Amino acid sequence: MRIPLSNHRRRLEMNMTPMIDVVFLLIIFFLVSSHLQKQEAHAELDLPAAETGEENSTTDLRKLTINISPEKSGFKIAFGARIVPIEKLSAQLQNELERAKGKLEVRIRGDRAVPYRAVEPILVSCAKLNIWNVHFAVIGPEATSTQFSP
Q: Is residue 96 part of a domain?
A: yes
Q: Is residue 31 part of a domain?
A: no
pLDDT value of residue 128: 92
Name the pTM for this structure. Answer: 0.63
- For the chain, the residue count is 150
Domain around 106: 45-149
Angle at 134 between CA 93 and CA 83, to 5 degrees: 40
Q: Is residue 70 part of a domain?
A: yes
Confidence of residue 8 (pLDDT cuts 50, 70, 90): low
148 near 114, Cβ under 8 Å?
no
Q: Is residue 1 part of a domain?
A: no
pLDDT value of residue 20: 93
pLDDT value of residue 65: 85
What secondary structure letter does DSSP report for 100?
T
pLDDT value of residue 149: 47
Confidence of residue 120 (pLDDT cuts 50, 70, 90): very high
Give the CATH number for residue 140.
3.30.420.270
> Residue 133: which region, alpha, beta or left (left: phi > 0; alpha: psi -120 to 50)?
beta
Query: Tens digit of pLDDT for each residue in 29-73?
Result: 988 877 766 655 566 776 777 777 777 667 778 888 888 888 888
Q: Is residue 30 part of a domain?
A: no
- How many domains does the chain divide into? 1
Q: Is residue 33 part of a domain?
A: no
pLDDT(142) > 70? no
